[in-house]
Structure 1
């Protein structure tokens, strides 16, 4: 008989190794690798400790910042284990200047590391540094097609060049070349912001593009979000009617002298091959056209006050896909299947006669008959046209558009093997991996990641394909925690939260979409709460206290807005989306969800207030802690009085009602088990199907596992009939759908009015898969995974799960298996952290407190019964 925990051995794999010196590596400045435009004038530095030695921590560091060969600041030996967000502490740094830094550390054996390889950063420009002038086309534009303007100038370098830095922005979107070579690797720059309030510029090291003597500089502009078609209401010219360029380049010569080239009246302009370019509608490139006639430019006096440096990852090319299949549809059309629903475009080579055209139309799915389908794109044409000049093999690639697609309908003569789909999304580093023994769950994880990729195109969009692609706040807040597992989204969300604060209405209301293209459409619960939820989520995931501090006024303004709209602490007025697109709710009209929308609003009021308390405690704002703690007490009392019966039944009696009340701690302790039981019973009544929408789905499995119903959570996760997470997987999805039944079991479609097949909201289950199934979590009192918690909760029929997360300190890894009654688990903990590892035992878990290293655990007789992990005795 095996009693209690049958741990055969617990092995620390590296404990007997000889001492290996710690290496300091992966240096980041403000979360970026060698950034060219750091906004923070007291930048923060982060590094990782690389070692094979177990139980390694940092006990001290020394950091030095250099300007050329001159030391600006040396921290001296600082007795601290801090290795992320260490602030600069020297004399004032100069805007536009380049600096290098390096660091060394002392470990807990009092051994000093070698100095790291230096990293560098460049401080952003101040407004006073801008000498360039805004320039616009000096010719009369075609007001219908609005072909892309090209701006050019020449620059003569009379001496040997040491370096060149170009600063570029525009009204619209731009691409540039110097001497025929592309400037940078980014697309759709300067990115999507409210151009009037916050206009990003990019800084590029163009040293390698410049040459002694004559240099040719060209910038081409597209309408982009500035004046392009945005929204299903097909609005043009939201921020302005005319495209404009701002360009400034500083060249430093080897003799130390400097020269500045600026956009001004000396530039010329024309049009070229890009005859038409709209983000929704696609691009037309006519290779027969060239820039033969050049016109003077118009200098215009626009303010520089809205210029901000880019502080997040730019949109770049990523994976490429060759055709998976070439289909001749029942209608006789040629359709290319690239095998993955993605955001981006197709590029190809082709030959033909002058005037021949190749037309590509993009869609996400085929219809029931197998024909090309794009009705769900609504008014977005998503059509690229390439007109050949007939001069041999020609290359086509769009510049100022992108599409959401898996299938492309092709008209014209092009060889499919010459075509390639290119994924286009923000270059946020991949941090998470997850897999398990169930191939459908693995496909679900794939779909979650790809919907994140496809919708993180400078902002968190709702979808990449139709006439929308807007920064819906509700979608972003529900998904933000899952996003932070899959990729490093610290800078991505920090940037977007600044956009949110800039667009927040004077009364504190948060718009439905950010950037705000919808005017006064604002203040819906679960949407506007992005103002509080995402800052706290990002702070927890990365330990970025500055971001939390920066957003605190926005957080507070939102909660104060809700407070101003309540009576007797109850928020029961105004438009609410409610639990959007819940089971059998069409989502097209107000209050169609089957959970009372004002109940949802009151729950989120409590949630945002709790997050205000958390933020105030973190930032040392004790007066606000007391103020909002008293408010939260009243909010909970108002909720209980309005929506809960004395026996614990909640108004609406839906899954979402119970989920939100339990997740946000709105019930007295004695009623929580009753509410959890009611939730489980509701799920059972639907034969273990979920009925939740955008707001309820995220927390559903969390609440179940937190309240003793892990078995029910797994039944939901593994359900593969509608409505469920795996139903779209079974139907062949490669991304997350907007609706549970976007494609019905008979292969017909939901309404064309709103039926995206690439919408990440329901992918919020991803964080539960990382955190509960695999077991990677953090101690909530110590943000950023400085203190790690490993506690897998196996269930269902899963026989293994494996996941990893690259944190600010290094890789956390878990790999557990159940085979022949034996449970094994391998765990990896990065240097400079500690961990609580919970190993399955007969009476729950056995806790092990460890330092960094690799660990192996085994136990015999492990089995799963009912509501948790136990160890069954072998007899």
Structure 2
């Protein structure tokens, strides 16, 4: 058996609305033989589903490539659907059957193809409130049967479409948040089944969103513009061949909607008495209160097709408890800190208002607590129309919460069944799984996953609840490798990195948040402070990580100039081009060794800046080599040597000590390879001494924490890394769990031992940065890693490092090539069992830990030397290294160290 599965175009199954002129094709292979590899492939593209009208044929290509194959010689046309199929040959020249026919469909590839105009509600509508969301509608007729129909749509602000009374698509918060001055996404919808012969009606709500609404904590709003507008184009093909086009133009009408206010931070107010039943259906008379729209002059040159995964309702949670707090407030507990909104039912007389307030935690007395929201109100108000049971959910706002305070409800009639928590985030495919023998570690893994869910809502935000929710670069680079294990993040970060590139400053500096809203329109706090070490380095770390995990060379090439610009920006700072010792830096943010009343840890900021300078230069060097930029490779190799030497001259004493004596200082020097020989040994020992002094507790902040356990495991102190992992008292990862956390906290002691809070000012209970420990769980505990020279897990490295406290651990990763698994189990007889799965068309280097001789190892009961699929066996200090081809293997070793 040798077959092709999971054929994809641009990471997606049958995508529509692509804006990429030369799409890439990927597939996976299955075989019942070990060591199966691809020898050759063929891709055929057709204009029809049967495959009769061939447009392009690769022929038989002798290559083992099965991912990211760009159709660079094929010209694609706007709006056209292309069908394709793939077959492959193995090394025995056996061919698979053709894959099932798949397709992709292009969007609109040039601004000139947009015939619609930007339309908005007129400036004066009687009774229209200043914050009220407008409704737009248009009626049109179709005489004939519809064969195919697409809507292409976007907005200044957010939009929600309805066609003949039904919601168009299943996504929310469109068109997403981008650097709107330069890039505005549009979405493509297949609406074939929503149209009918005769009269049809298309309608839209518009909301302020990130474009016009409040952003950040200084009361800023209308950062990108103060006019909401819709741009829409519908292409309809009838069975008789006739083509119709419906566009946003002066034929549309506008009215005020029941949405009186909808803000990302503050919630939504909805007056159901203002509903106009049937306004998006045929036969509705749009006379009273409806006015002709106005045309807005605005560029279409900024339009790009949807790049990231759309935001969808991904989970529904049922509340677990209805409670009365000591203050007498009625509160429901969702049982999980979540992001999204509450869908609820209510019954009452017309004009009666109910209110839902959202919070993450209760205070130590058990009362509803909103102090950490700062100015964000997170409040939903619903005014009833008085027509029996009424169902409602918000449109253009989201909340970060576990607890919901109910006001205005008839307490005698409230039932938990009335409420559902609708969990929303960018709908990235789940790819990684980790579980182990310890329930607290499994809860930590759960919290990491839900931290991602709560903060990957179109942009990688720092937190989802208070008046912030911004795309902080530091948080994003610290967590990206963990995120790329849990979910398919290539599209998500592709979109965000393109915004980073356009928001990058002329001098190469990188703003603190992307899209960049700090420092604009009166944001005085960061007006002259644009770039910080470990934050701006996202410009380099993130594209390199996406390349490593997904083999995305195109994105690396796209971002290469941005990567270079960042390191050249650093190079231009101060008098010494090889040290970064000037400017503002966040330092080891929120480290526990900070001075009192300071957010910045004790590690010298110039030290951190120069360490990250060296790291980023090393990655730009690697990128130059991958992209065959020989001159740049020479240039950045020399720069790296000079920065590394300058670091050593500045921060390593003649006796080989690091001049900065914090945990984070030792960690960065070791992780980034900035010390060697005696200096490396002294840094390692100093780190161990510091951990011993703190009774094996960390003091690291945002900068040091992601690397701490890696450094320990890589330098022979895996036992101490495990000891840190298992600590349950403050400060530790598990301390939060003992306090009931269901997501990762911003502060190690967001809730203190006595139940009080760290602060009101900055105390998020859903902040994924410290969830970067997940990277170590997957790559060290489970042991799933890759060879950087062969990206995307083409050459897998399986190197589990079992430790004290765990009896078993199981990691799985759905890679571009297929499922990888590494699962180890300490057996009762003292043996260690290791189960490994290697996808077809890949190889794996596997460390069999603790085995001193191949005679001590069996695979499925057979001696290791007789095992099919093993290419090489080599003894090493840590155990035995073997090289294997694809297949599933079960190893057992005689002893466990």
Runs of 4+ in 1 over 6 A off after TM superposition: 141-144
What is the aligned partner in structure 2 of residue 625 from structure 1? 633
Compute the displacement of 1:81 (Å).
Answer: 1.0
CA 90–638 in structure 1, closer or farther in 2 if over 3 Å, else same: closer
Q: For residues 231-242 of structure 1, what are the structure 2 equivalents within 5 Å?
A: 231-242=216-227
Compute the displacement of 1:567 (Å).
Answer: 2.2
Deviations 1:111-157 (A, max 9, x none): 11111111111122111111110001114267865111111001211
What is the aligned partner in structure 1 of residue 687 from structure 2? 679
Compute the displacement of 1:848 (Å).
Answer: 1.8
Structure 1 portions without partners, runs of 5+ = 1-19, 863-869, 871-875
Q: 2: distance between equivalents of 1:859 and 1:509?
A: 52
What is the aligned partner in structure 2 of residue 4 from structure 1? none
What is the aligned partner in structure 1 of residue 433 from structure 2? 433
Q: 1: distance between equivalents of 2:47 and 2:307?
A: 22
Deviations 1:709-739 (A, max 9, x none): 1111111111111111111011110000000
What is the aligned partner in structure 1 of residue 466 from structure 2? 466
What is the aligned partner in structure 2 of residue 308 from structure 1? 304
What is the aligned partner in structure 2 of residue 13 from structure 1? none
Q: For residues 723-734 of structure 1, what are the structure 2 equivalents within 5 Å?
A: 723-734=731-742
What is the aligned partner in structure 1 of residue 885 from structure 2? 851
1:271, 1:290 within 8 Å by CA — same for their partners in 2? no
Structure 2 portions without partners, runs of 5+ = 277-287, 520-526, 853-876
Q: For residues 570-649 of structure 1, what are the structure 2 equivalents within 5 Å?
A: 570-585=579-594, 592-649=600-657
Q: Which moved more, 1:700-709 or 1:840-849?
A: 840-849
Q: Which moved more, 1:731-740 or 1:89-98?
A: 89-98
1:581, 1:587 within 8 Å by CA — same for their partners in 2? no
| Correspondence for 2:181 among 193, 196, 204 | 196
| Correspondence for 1:563 among 566, 571, 578 | 571
SS of the aligned residue for 1:467 comes to coil
Compute the displacement of 1:65 (Å).
Answer: 0.8
1:72, 1:90 within 8 Å by CA — same for their partners in 2? no
What is the aligned partner in structure 2 of residue 353 from structure 1? 349
SS of the aligned residue for 1:783 comes to coil
Q: For residues 531-570 of structure 1, what are the structure 2 equivalents within 5 Å?
A: 531-568=539-576, 569-570=578-579
| Correspondence for 1:322 among 312, 318, 324 | 318
What is the aligned partner in structure 1 of residue 395 from structure 2? 399
Q: Does 1:41 align with 2:24?
A: no
Q: 1: distance between equivalents of 2:256 and 2:120?
A: 12
Q: 2: distance between equivalents of 1:195 and 1:693?
A: 33
Q: 2: distance between equivalents of 1:74 and 1:288?
A: 60
Q: 1: distance between equivalents of 2:57 and 2:17?
A: 22
What is the aligned partner in structure 2 of residue 720 from structure 1? 728
Q: 1: distance between equivalents of 2:596 and 2:454?
A: 23
What is the aligned partner in structure 2 of residue 134 from structure 1? 118
Q: 1: distance between equivalents of 2:586 and 2:177?
A: 25
What is the aligned partner in structure 1 of residue 279 from structure 2? none
Q: Which moved more, 1:618-627 or 1:514-523?
A: 514-523
Compute the displacement of 1:273 (Å).
Answer: 1.4
SS of the aligned residue for 2:607 comes to helix
Compute the displacement of 1:627 (Å).
Answer: 0.8
How many pairs were matched up? 842
SS of the aligned residue for 1:441 comes to helix
Q: 2: distance between equivalents of 1:589 and 1:653?
A: 19
Q: 2: distance between equivalents of 1:260 and 1:645?
A: 73
2:41, 2:86 within 8 Å by CA — same for their partners in 1? yes
Compute the displacement of 1:259 (Å).
Answer: 1.3
Q: 2: distance between equivalents of 1:260 and 1:775?
A: 55
1:579, 1:693 within 8 Å by CA — same for their partners in 2? yes
Q: Which moved more, 1:681-690 or 1:111-120?
A: 111-120
SS of the aligned residue for 2:262 comes to strand
What is the aligned partner in structure 1 of residue 33 from structure 2? 53
SS of the aligned residue for 2:587 comes to coil
Q: 2: distance between equivalents of 1:664 and 1:566?
A: 23
Q: Does 1:24 align with 2:4?
A: yes
Deviations 1:748-769 (A, max 9, x none): 0011110000000000010110
Q: 1: distance between equivalents of 2:597 and 2:154?
A: 38
Q: 2: distance between equivalents of 1:861 and 1:593?
A: 43
Q: 1: distance between equivalents of 2:128 and 2:692?
A: 60
Q: 1: distance between equivalents of 2:124 and 2:441?
A: 56
Deviations 1:828-861 (A, max 9, x none): 1111111111112135211221111110011223
Compute the displacement of 1:583 (Å).
Answer: 0.6
2:321, 2:416 within 8 Å by CA — same for their partners in 1? no
Q: Which moved more, 1:513-522 or 1:540-549?
A: 513-522
Deviations 1:240-275 (A, max 9, x none): 111000000101112223111100001000112111
Q: 1: distance between equivalents of 2:510 and 2:345?
A: 46
Compute the displacement of 1:353 (Å).
Answer: 0.9
Q: For residues 160-175 of structure 1, what are the structure 2 equivalents within 5 Å?
A: 160-175=145-160
CA 150–452 in structure 1, closer or farther in 2 if over 3 Å, else same: same
1:543, 1:783 within 8 Å by CA — same for their partners in 2? yes
2:779, 2:800 within 8 Å by CA — same for their partners in 1? yes
2:652, 2:679 within 8 Å by CA — same for their partners in 1? no
SS of the aligned residue for 1:46 comes to strand
Compute the displacement of 1:650 (Å).
Answer: 1.6
2:595, 2:602 within 8 Å by CA — same for their partners in 1? no
Compute the displacement of 1:780 (Å).
Answer: 1.7
Deviations 1:382-426 (A, max 9, x none): 000111111111111001000000000011224322101011000
What is the aligned partner in structure 2 of residue 865 from structure 1? none
What is the aligned partner in structure 2 of residue 5 from structure 1? none
2:593, 2:700 within 8 Å by CA — same for their partners in 1? no
Compute the displacement of 1:282 (Å).
Answer: 0.2
Compute the displacement of 1:588 (Å).
Answer: 7.3
What is the aligned partner in structure 1 of residue 515 from structure 2? 515
SS of the aligned residue for 1:533 comes to helix
Compute the displacement of 1:505 (Å).
Answer: 0.7
Q: For residues 180-329 of structure 1, what are the structure 2 equivalents within 5 Å?
A: 180-291=165-276, 292-329=288-325
1:175, 1:187 within 8 Å by CA — same for their partners in 2? yes
CA 259–397 in structure 1, closer or farther in 2 if over 3 Å, else same: same
Q: 2: distance between equivalents of 1:43 and 1:509?
A: 31
Deviations 1:454-484 (A, max 9, x none): 1000000000000000000000001000000
Compute the displacement of 1:819 (Å).
Answer: 2.3
2:22, 2:74 within 8 Å by CA — same for their partners in 1? no
2:36, 2:885 within 8 Å by CA — same for their partners in 1? yes
What is the aligned partner in structure 2 of residue 10 from structure 1? none
SS of the aligned residue for 1:704 comes to helix
1:232, 1:468 within 8 Å by CA — same for their partners in 2? yes
SS of the aligned residue for 1:152 comes to strand
CA 586–471 in structure 1, closer or farther in 2 if over 3 Å, else same: farther
1:341, 1:734 within 8 Å by CA — same for their partners in 2? yes
Q: For residues 756-771 of structure 1, what are the structure 2 equivalents within 5 Å?
A: 756-771=764-779
Deviations 1:772-793 (A, max 9, x none): 0001111121100001111100
Normalised to the residue count of structure 1, the TM-score between the two structures is: 0.95
What is the aligned partner in structure 1 of residue 85 from structure 2? 102
Q: Which has the higher contact order (CA 8 A, sep 6+)?
A: 1
1:73, 1:89 within 8 Å by CA — same for their partners in 2? no
What is the aligned partner in structure 2 of residue 500 from structure 1? 500
